Amino acid sequence: HKLGTFPFRGFVVQGSNGEFPFLTSSERLEVVSRVRQAMPKNRLLLAGSGCESTQATVEMTVSMAQVGADAAMVVTPCYYRGRMSSAALIHHYTKVADFSPIPVVLYSVPANTGLDLPVDAVVTLSQHPNIVGMKDSGGDVTRIGLIVHKTRKQDFQVLAGSAGFLMASYALGAVGGVCALANVLGAQVCQLERLCCTGQWEEAQKLQHRLIEPNAAVTRRFGIPGLKKIMDWFGYYGGPCRAPLQELSPAEEEALRMDFTSNGWL
């Protein structure tokens, strides 16, 4: 409920920070259903519905729509990443989008999957009427700029996948972001968006600089255990991790705290 007070456009459930690989199918659906009930009615709910097989992803996407998701965010299948060619990924996403009752958002997160959704595949998929955009968490802003450029004739939105390169993404034509850091610094992430969208680049740059370390801490550096710990510290509910994820060590907790205090957030 507390997160509902920020001017977010919506919420992503079962993204990289939702521990979805550790949940059963029924748990994944229950989480989305509960978030739908708890959140303000006028916000969008994006649900991560990606599975390894195309068939399972289609079924999960249909189910996510039934429990209240407004759109499905579909991560690249990656277990057989050596065979995940552009052709394979285009086929996968096309099938999912064909059968999905809700719009589909492509999701590339190479830090977790070891796989970048190829630009040529994104360009082809952007032409599908039910594929409305992409979340790119790779952090390569030249790639983000190229995707914006090559999909400009389509009704296709490019979203930055992390707060560390949010300003750079806006500067290159991205229209939003899905940021783990917004779980704790929601007001600041929204402020950065406002500064970019109103052309206050100098102020935006100052704020962006102060968000880079805390963002890295809750993503690359300490991951989900770090994000959950900092949520507890900020008065949200982070809670325990699901095994095999382990809690942070005391030394890691200290380093996490430093990344926030040295930038003036704690």
What's the token pair of residue 67?
A: 């429990």
Give the count of beta carbons closer than 10 Å to the beta carbon of residue 207.
18
Distance of alpha carbon 86 from its chain centroid, rounded? 22
Contact 4, 39 (CB under 8 A): yes
pLDDT (tens digit, 9 = 90+) per residue, 16-70?
999 999 999 999 999 999 999 999 999 999 999 999 999 999 999 999 999 999 9
Phi, psi of 159 (to 5 degrees): -115, 135
CB 133 within 8 A of CB 156: yes
- Given the residues 2, 41, 135, 170, the one annotated as active site: 135
206 is catalytic: no
Confidence band (pLDDT; 50, 70, 90) for 2? confident
241 in a domain, yes or no? no
- The torsion defined by the Cα of 250, 256, 259 and 264, in degrees rounded to 10, comes to -90
Query: How many other C-beta atoms are found inside a 10 Å radius of the C-beta of residue 236?
Result: 15
Would residue 15 count as lying in a domain? yes
Q: pTM score, two decimals? A: 0.97
Look at residue 233 and tell me if it is in a domain. Answer: no
Active-site entry in 2, 41, 95, 107: 107
140 in any annotated domain: yes
Binding residue per annotation — 104? no
Beta carbons within 10 angstroms of residue 136's beta carbon: 28
Asked if the structure places residue 101 within a domain, the reply is yes
pLDDT band at residue 230 using 50, 70 and 90 as cut-offs = very high
- In a domain, residue 22? The reply is yes
Is the pLDDT at 115 greater than 80? The verdict is: yes
170: annotated active-site residue = no
Distances (CA, A) of 42 to 4, 45, 70, 128, 197: 10, 10, 11, 26, 22
Token pair 């299948």 in the structure block, residue: 77
Domain that holds residue 45: 3-161
- Does any domain span residue 50? yes
Phi, psi (deg, nearest 5) at residue 71 = -155, 160
46 in a structural domain: yes
Number of domains in the chain: 1
Q: What is the pLDDT of residues 172-226, one digit of tens each?
A: 999 999 999 999 999 999 999 999 999 999 999 999 999 999 999 999 999 999 9
